[in-house]
Copies of this chain bind each other. A is one copy, B any other.
Amino acid sequence: MNETKPTSIRGSSRERILEAARALFHRQGFEATSFSDIAREAGIPRGNFYYHFKTKDEILRAVIARWRTRLEEALGQIERATPQPLERIHRMLAYPLEESETNVRYGCPLGSLVYELRKAEHPPQVWQEAVGLFDVLADWLAARLRELGWSAGPARLLALRALARLQGAILLASAYGDQGLLAAEVADLYDWIRHQRPQENAP
């Protein structure tokens, strides 16, 4: 994680490997993506990137960390774009629509990855890091709900419920290859959140 040599530019090789792996894990899945695939996509000889990553799991963990950075940057950008909690939530929910075609074709890159990792036998640490990506989104959503007056418990509950609806919408839209379905579900999801009231969810 820590780059001990600040002088070296983010190695173009390492960077290209990571970006290639991230895209391929999304399009093909983790198991189905071979080193050869990554090497071809990154334009780098096969054996070379064992210098950067010792195992395939190491690449996976780096890709997960990359997704975390991506998410946090996107959420930060939303916060800078508008101060209104509801508008922030709306933009977050509409985020999968920005790459609608890819997401409908290959599913949510986070959801499909987590689903795959739960099956394979990786060190628990690996898929927990992947699940941590959901927490980034859930925590952020819950924080916006608290800005709207929700207390912590119900906010967390509704955030998870919204995340589940979003994941389900992407999965079904992906299954049917229907971008319109995803857009409609995102719109309905936002409408649904807007009409929720805290007391309805309090224990």
B164 touching A134, Cβ below 8 Å: no
A 115-136 to B, binary, CB cutoff 8 A, 1 in contact else 0: 1101110000000001100100
Query: Of B115, B130, B134, B163, which one neighbours A115 at CB under 8 angstroms?
Result: B115
B27 touching A119, Cβ below 8 Å: yes
Give the most central of A31, A168, A169: most B CB within 10 Å.
A168
Number of interface residues of A (CB under 8 A): 36
A160 at the interface (CB under 8 A from B): yes
Stretch in contact with the other chain, from A6-14, A61-69, A174-182? A174-182
Measured in the bound complex, the distance between the Cα atoms of B116 and A27 in whole Å is: 10
Query: Of B131, B164, B188, which one neighbours A168 at CB under 8 angstroms?
Result: B164
What is the interface of chain A mostly: helix, strand, loop, or mixed? helix
Measured in the bound complex, the distance between the Cα atoms of B190 and A14 in whole Å is: 48
A175 — which chain B residues lie within 8 A by C-beta?
A: 114-115, 118, 130-131, 134
A181 touching B160, Cβ below 8 Å: yes
Stretch in contact with the other chain, from A90-98, A105-113, A140-148? A105-113
A171 at the interface (CB under 8 A from B): yes
A107 → chain B closest CB, angstroms: 5
**A168-B166, A172-B160 are known contacts. Are A115 and B120 too (CB-CB below 8 A)?**
no
B167 touching A119, Cβ below 8 Å: no
A79 at the interface (CB under 8 A from B): no
